[in-house]
Every structure is written in structure tokens, then in C-alpha cells.
Structure 1
Amino acid sequence: MAERISDQVEAILLDIEGTTTPVDFVFGVLFPFARDQAERFLQAHGQEAAVQADLALLRQEYEADRVQGLDLPDWQGDEPTAAVAYIQYLIGCDRKSIGLKSLQGKLWNQGYADGSLQSQIYPDVYPAFKRWKAAGKALFIFSSGSIQAQKLLFAHTDQGDLTTWLSGYFDTTTGPKKEAESYQKIASTIGLPPEQILFISDIAAELQAAQAAGMKTLFSYRPGNPSKDAESFPLIENFDTI
């Protein structure tokens, strides 16, 4: 039997969107939920310290955008709900914003708690988690979504709570996903040489950064993913052979 690439590593690092979870769930369910619920959420929770911290980050981002001359919605006044139009603007352009991602995590927490949301994962993900863990592999997530959002997604899947299979989570507070230094930091945090970690993503630029850091890499092509251009990376269509 041919050796699986997972046999060559001690840890597996996974992207979410287009890798473990359909792109359409993110863009067709999670993003619209955050967009539509933002005003109501800020009316109820906008004065909480954690939400105020997110809004402060977003205000800094807004001012930086203004300096660049971007065509922005108005953000006038100090009321939390004054930020809604800018939040919706960022969601619409899928900005990898730390403040936005943190706030989205809080919005989604409410949705998961009241049953409005249930995460979707591909059917081969849970069996792969079990197989990899049985083989002694440590499993980690690296996503542009906040760590809170990652934990919520895997805790409320259509196949049950999968957080018990995961050893840790990384988001863009570690660094951008398209920079090699981020993957070097992840390897250091995990406590393994980069060559002992396999990173799987549907974005070639992320794989290039991980490869530059020394990690092994696979390109994930799933139904509905925007690109099948794996460039020079081995392409997989599910986790069954890994």
C-alpha cells in the first residue's frame, strides 16, 4: 500500500473555507447572518467591553480607509449602531479584518446558541479526524475567522461537536495567511519542525507561504470552490487518501 502523506508528518493544519467546510456555507449563510443581525446585536450588546474593543479596532480601520480615499459608508456618532453600515461594507468585500472577524464571532455565537445556525462540513472530514487521531496526529485549524468563530463552527456541525478532535486554533492574530512567518510562528507554537506539519488549503498563495516556511502542503479542491488552479501543489478532492 502506498504511503499516505499523513504518515510523513506529526501534525495536520487545516484551512476551513473550501477545505473542511463548503464555501457556500460561509458566503451564503454565515456572512449574511452577520450582515443582517449586526444592528440588532449592537443595540443589545454594543456597550459591552469586548464589543467596544472590536468597534475601536474597526474605527481605526475606518479612519485608515478614509485616508486612502476609499468610497465608504458614513460612520457618524458614537453609538455602536453607527458602525453598522461600515461593518456591512467590510462583510461585502470579505475584508480580513481582525476587528470584523472578532465581532462576527460574537454574532455567530448568538446564532449557534439559539439554534439559528448549524455548521456544515464535508462528509469525509469527521472520518478523517478519527483516522488521523488514531494514527497519533495532532490536528489544528488556521483560518482568517477568529478563534472563537472557529471553535463555534466545529462545536455545532451537522455531524456533532468535533472540537474534541482538535488540538488548537490559529487566526490572523498570529499573522496573515499568505506570509511564511505566520506558518513559522504556528510551527513554533505547536512545537514541531515545519517539515513535520501538513497544511491543507484551497488557496495556492497560502500554500506557497506554508511551503516557504518548510511545511508539506496539499491543495483542496471541493465542489463550489472558486478555483481549481493548484499551481504546482498536489490536488486532493477529499480527505480519504490523506
Structure 2
Amino acid sequence: MDTALHEQRRGPRLPAALHGSHVHPASGRVELKDVRTVLLDIEGTTTPIEFVHQILFPYARAHMREFLERHAADPEVRADLARLRAEHAAESDAPPPPWRDDVASVVAYVEWLMDRDRKSTGLKSLQGKIWEAGYRAGELRGQVYPDVPRAFARWASQGRDIAIFSSGSAQAQRCLFAHSTAGDLSPFIRAYFDTTTGPKTAPESYRRIAAALERPLREVLFVSDVAAELDAARLAGMRSALSVRGPEAGGPPLDHPVIHGLDETC
């Protein structure tokens, strides 16, 4: 990851002591006292960024045309196409490829969205369906960091819930954890949330998640590698922890407690 993107994900620096998560002074661990639900991002938190960008995204791109040719008449796919058509009509960026209600133009628009890393709900839903087929065929396995299954088992033994909030569709999330390199981790996960809940940088999204989980906001810890997402969760009232899986550029940020793996929670 280049320095500019790294800094964008990390965000500005403010004192962590202002924000609600408890940091053990000797070890830097984040204490889970009074935390009943751990809400996790995927990319850079449970799963290497490289897996998403170098395996999942290219797989979806390579199989998009074939998938649409086979499944364009399926009701769920038609709903995705309707979302994409509406998004295309509302585009305010540089003009996207023209929309003509055929597979070629849909593929062109989808690739245009992917090139811009857009968090399009229609795109994410289509990607999830393609990945599900890949997982079921044995062509994909969801990569997770080695500490993930340990943390899931530990939190479950402590009576804590685990939930996921990712820009990838809930379907894609389920498949990744059900077909992971550590086996089927889905029994540990209570709920999955995606962009249908709202943007990850909007405080209201986290309020909706807490309501769906029937948890007070203060009893939920959100872990992500993107500072802007943590800012939104914190503004809503959740606790926060910044996942830093690689070398830190320019020293550790102070706006959120930092963990270098899920084992650094206690």
C-alpha cells in the first residue's frame, strides 16, 4: 500500500484517551470490559488487503460477462441490474460508459465502477454472487489472518457476539467465512451488515447496527483499518480500535487505540 493511501486509511491524529476504548497501559491491548459485541471490518482486519484486491476483485472481473450471460434473467440479478441502472442515471462523476440494457454495456459500467473502487450496492451484490459460485466450485478460499479463529473462539467462550460490517455484500461475507482457510467460521458470527445498512463513514449506520443487534452502542467495539469508519462509529457511541496489520508509517496514530492483531484484545 503506498504512503498516501496508507495515510488516507489511517486519518488524522487525536488523543485516544478521548474516545471510550480502554487501552492497557503496559501492553497496549484493548480491554473488552463491558463489550458484548465485537463488530469487525474485513479488509485489513480479518483478511489481508491483498486477497481482496489481487484475488477476489480480479476473479469477479474475469467472470462477470459469463455470469451475466447465464443469469441475467434471474430475479435477484435483475434487481442488481436495476440498482446499477439507477446508479448509472445518477452519476455525477466523469461520464460513465453508456447504458444500453445489454450485457456488454453492463460489463463496461461494472468495470468502470471497479476501476474507481466504488462502493456500489449493485456491483457488490453481483460480485458476491460470482464469488459464491467460486467458493462452491472450490476455486476460492477466504483468507483470514491466523489470529482470527483464535479470537473468534475466545470471544465466543467469553459470551461475546461477533458481527461483520463490510462494503462487500452480506452474501460475500458469509461465503468468505464459511469457506475460509481456517475452516467454516460462520457459526461464530451472529450477523452480517453491508452497504444496505448505510455508508461505513456515516454514524447513523452504526446506530442501525446496534439497534439490529439489540445492544447499547457503548457495548459494541468496532475494529477497522480505516480511521474515517472508526470516527463514524465513535461519533455514534461505539468503542473503536484501529487495526494495523503492517508496518506503521510515521509512527502510531493517536486518534484510536491501535491493535496489530485480534490477539491484542483482553
Q: Which interval holds the TM-score relative to the shorter structure?
A: over 0.9
Kindly indicate whether the alpha-carbon contact (under 8 Å) linking 1:23 and 1:224 is maintained by their aligned counterparts in 2. Answer: no
Change (3 A) 1:224 1:87: farther
Alignment of 1:37-186 (within 5 A): 37-65=63-91, 68=92, 70-76=94-100, 78-186=101-209
TM-score, normalised to structure 1's length?
Answer: 0.93
2:33 alignment partner, SS class? helix
Kindly indicate whether the alpha-carbon contact (under 8 Å) linking 2:30 and 2:257 is maintained by their aligned counterparts in 1. Answer: no
Structure of greater relative contact order (alpha carbons < 8 Å, 6+ residues apart): 2
Kindly indicate whether the alpha-carbon contact (under 8 Å) linking 1:139 and 1:167 is maintained by their aligned counterparts in 2. Answer: yes
The Cα of 1:89 is off from its aligned counterpart by 1.2
The Cα of 1:226 is off from its aligned counterpart by 9.4
Matched, 1:219 2:242: yes
The Cα of 1:73 is off from its aligned counterpart by 2.3
Alpha-carbon displacement from aligned partner over 1:140-177 (angstroms, at most 9, x marks no partner):
00011111011011011001010000011111111110
Q: Distance in 2 between matches of 1:199 and 1:113?
A: 30
Q: Distance in 2 between matches of 1:153 and 1:227?
A: 33
Which of 47, 55, 60 is the equivalent residue of 1:21? 47
Q: What residue is the counterpart of 1:195 in the other structure?
A: 218
Q: Distance in 1 between matches of 2:250 and 2:41?
A: 15
Change (3 A) 1:70 1:157: same
Q: Distance in 2 between matches of 1:31 and 1:176?
A: 20
1:139 alignment partner, SS class? strand
Q: State percent identity of aligned pairs.
A: 47
Kindly indicate whether the alpha-carbon contact (under 8 Å) linking 2:30 and 2:241 is maintained by their aligned counterparts in 1. Answer: no
Q: Distance in 2 between matches of 1:84 and 1:195?
A: 43
Q: Distance in 1 between matches of 2:44 and 2:98?
A: 33
Alpha-carbon displacement from aligned partner over 1:34-75 (angstroms, at most 9, x marks no partner):
11110011111111111111011101111111xx25132233
Kindly indicate whether the alpha-carbon contact (under 8 Å) linking 1:23 and 1:225 is maintained by their aligned counterparts in 2. Answer: no
1:47 alignment partner, SS class? coil
Change (3 A) 1:89 1:136: same
Q: What residue is the counterpart of 1:241 in the other structure?
A: 264
Q: Distance in 2 between matches of 1:13 and 1:153?
A: 16
> How many residues end up aligned between the 2 structures?
239
Q: Distance in 2 between matches of 1:228 and 1:146?
A: 33
Kindly indicate whether the alpha-carbon contact (under 8 Å) linking 2:30 and 2:259 is maintained by their aligned counterparts in 1. Answer: no
Q: Which runs of 5+ in 1 are unaligned?
A: none
Q: Distance in 2 between matches of 1:213 and 1:24?
A: 30
Q: Distance in 1 between matches of 2:253 and 2:163?
A: 22
Change (3 A) 1:174 1:237: same
The Cα of 1:192 is off from its aligned counterpart by 1.1
Q: Distance in 1 between matches of 2:185 and 2:253?
A: 28
Kindly indicate whether the alpha-carbon contact (under 8 Å) linking 2:28 and 2:259 is maintained by their aligned counterparts in 1. Answer: no
Q: What is the CA RMSD across the aligned residues, in angstroms? A: 2.0
